[in-house]
Amino acid sequence: MKKGNDSTVTKFFLVGLSKYPELQLFLFVLCLIMHVIILLGNSLLIVISTFDSRLHTPMYFFLGNLSFLDICYTSSSIPPMLMVVSLGLGSTECILLAVMAYDRYVAICNPLRYPIMMNRVLYVHMAAWSWIIGCLNSLVQTVLTMVLPFCGNNVIDHITCEILALLKLICSDISINVLIMTVANIVLLVIPLLLILISYVFILSSILRINSAEGRKKAFSTCSAHLTVVILFYGSALFMYMKPKSKDTRASDEIIGLSYGVVTPMLNPIIYSLRNKEVKEAVKKCLPLSPCVLEGANL
């Protein structure tokens, strides 16, 4: 991008959804409902996985981390902090989903060794490193972006302070930023996705060898929930960060941004809970009105 003669930009204006005035009320109500669902659904998963001793397993420990991450991810709404927070949490989710795939691989492919291999020290460290790596990626990319001069246009025509939207406003060479982002995309998107796919090849092979129909059904149910979240999150994130520049359109950016930033966190507690017998039993134990709610959800 060539340097301009305009004064250096010190403030930004986030357009968000304000460019659709005729739909503002509808979009406000829709976003409010989705955010409430995200807060309530993920908070409920955190509470029941904390207080129900039957859910004190690596799977639900990682799920609790994912729920807390999604609450923070969608609540990072202060514009000056938004890029750092959302990029860090998004990067963390990439790694955490891969860690959860490994947990399912060990549980299904090596069930007898599972308690030894996935001990508390290991899965706590795995979750901690997911957060550390995600936050470090955000810190590096944010610092490299904010030290560059912004000049000319100071309107961020996007629903969030997405780093891709900010890079378009820089009036100097961004080749280093593009290189760092490409490396980060490979490390945080491509490699974890490949590891997840490899894990599920072994998982599927092990499931098909299970003699019990009930055992196969339970294994498929557990893995299908995680795989659904993986497809939704990685699919939208890969399209956003790995698409060709020729397909760089504002409308698609906003839709994809909503997909992995709002829709996926909203669906996570629904996908993981409605068909999960252990979670439903824990909800019944914690909430006196939950049997009616769960009965209605199964209709």
- DSSP state letters, 140-153: HHHHHHHTSPBBS-
- Number of neighbours of residue 242 by Cβ within 10 angstroms: 12
d(CA 192, CA 114): 21
Which residues make beta-bridge pairs with 14?
156
Q: Which CA distances in Å does 89 have to 58, 82, 166, 233, 249?
A: 20, 10, 18, 13, 24
For residue 38, the model assigns a pLDDT of: 83
Whether the predicted pLDDT of 206 surpasses 60: yes
Q: What is the H or E stretch that residue 169 is in?
A: none
Per-residue model confidence as pLDDT tens digits over 30-75: 777 887 888 888 888 888 888 878 888 888 898 889 888 888 877 7
Considering only residues 12 and 144, tell me which one the structure prediction assigns the higher pLDDT: 144
Q: How many helices (H) and strands (E) does the chain have?
A: 13, 2
Considering only residues 156 and 71, tell me which one the structure prediction assigns the higher pLDDT: 71
Just give the CATH number of 16-145+173-273.
1.20.1070.10
Cα 148 to chain centroid, rounded? 28
For residue 4, the model assigns a pLDDT of: 45
Q: What 8-state DSSP symbol labels residue 22?
A: G
Opening angle at CA 198, ends 267 and 262, nearest 5: 20
At 99, the pLDDT band (50, 70, 90 cuts) reads very high
For residue 212, the model assigns a pLDDT of: 79
Q: What is the C-alpha radius of gyration for the chain, rounded to an integer number of angstroms?
A: 21
- Percent of the chain residues topping a pLDDT of 90: 14
For residue 12, the model assigns a pLDDT of: 55
Whether the predicted pLDDT of 13 surpasses 60: no
For residue 63, the model assigns a pLDDT of: 86
Is pTM beyond 0.85 here? no
